[in-house]
Amino acid sequence: MQKKDSYSKIIAGTMTWGSWGKQFSKAESAALINYCLENGISTFDHADIYGDYTNEAEFGRALIESNVPREKIQLISKCGIQFSAESRNNRVKHYDYLTDYIIWSVERSLQNLKTDYLDMLLLHRPSPLMQPSEIAEAVNKLQTAGKIKNFGVSNFSPSQIKLLEKEIEIDANQVEFSLTQNRAMNDGTLDDIMANDRIAMSWSPLGAYFKEDSPAISKIGHCLKNFCEKYDATEDQLLLAWIMKHPSRIKPVVGTTTKARLTMAAKAVQIEMELQDWFILLEAANGNEVP
């Protein structure tokens, strides 16, 4: 198994690099890969579905163009979600975690990403029909063949992880977690991560702060503006610092493709938020003091 500290503290999310967002050229993606590395972001988060199943191939071509040695980066990918796309003849959105499909999907990701292995494979979302023995058979074959190093899940509850762990060890869980969506602290998700020494990753780490206008967002904004001067930091940096103070050692998956914001995200790891400031922000987000 790969060492759990080998993944960067900030992870670059690639969902919007392709047709679902910026539609970067090969040269632009190659430049962004190098820029991430220059700023200490060496882990890249993928999923087979991104860009209607096209992003991984585009990233793979850009990786070759970038001249970055494979051992200098870590590649995470997810599989399991099936929906209708030009390359998929699906009648309904569903999940597929049969042994043959998991293996086929990983081999396709490897081919597209121009690599011999994934540092981590995640099951994208839990399926009501998943069978631990089917999943374990696929993962064991892939790990034995050296095609994946770590194995984890995304958006799984502790009970769903416990079900899988009848057959296979779970190294990581990538979940939605932010100041404005902090449910994972109270439903056992982060407790499970800490108790079992899993790698924690959060998608949408800035939450609703830059997307919504509500009384809670206004309260958070008032607190952040006061803290920006205190910590000599931006609002987005403080939101990331709030996440990273949690003892589960969460690694935010940042979706920005803006170089300046990537730089700021990388610098957020240096912010040590004071205990009471952390709770002030939590109170603002939840609308009440802790019990």
Fold of 4-211+238-272: TIM Barrel (3.20.20)
What pLDDT sits at residue 79? 98
Distance CA 202, CA 250 (A): 7
Q: Tell me the per-residue pLDDT of 224-244, one tens digit each, with 9 for 90 and over.
A: 999 999 999 999 999 999 999
pLDDT(205) > 80: yes
Q: Do strands 81-82 and 94-95 pair parallel, antiparallel, or not at all (unpaired)?
A: antiparallel
pLDDT(2) > 90: no
Which of 13-27, 52-66, 78-92, 172-186 is least confident?
78-92
Distance CA 186, CA 171 (A): 21
Whether 178 and 204 have beta carbons less than 8 Å apart is answered as yes
Phi, psi dihedral angles at 226 (to 5 degrees):
-70, -35
Predicted confidence band of residue 155 (pLDDT cuts 50, 70, 90)? very high
Average pLDDT, rounded, for the chain: 96
Enter the pTM of the model.
Answer: 0.96
Predicted confidence band of residue 4 (pLDDT cuts 50, 70, 90)? low
- E strands in the chain: 11-13, 43-45, 74-79, 81-82, 94-95, 118-123, 148-154, 172-176, 199-203, 251-254
What pLDDT sits at residue 150? 97
Predicted confidence band of residue 19 (pLDDT cuts 50, 70, 90)? very high
pLDDT(65) > 80: yes
Name 135's bridge partners.
none
Percent of the chain whose predicted confidence (pLDDT) is above 70: 99
What pLDDT sits at residue 3? 58
Residue positions annotated with a catalytic role: 50
What pLDDT sits at residue 27? 98
Distance CA 189, CA 200 (A): 10
Q: Tell me the per-residue pLDDT of 33-50, one tens digit each, with 9 for 90 and over.
A: 999 999 999 999 999 999
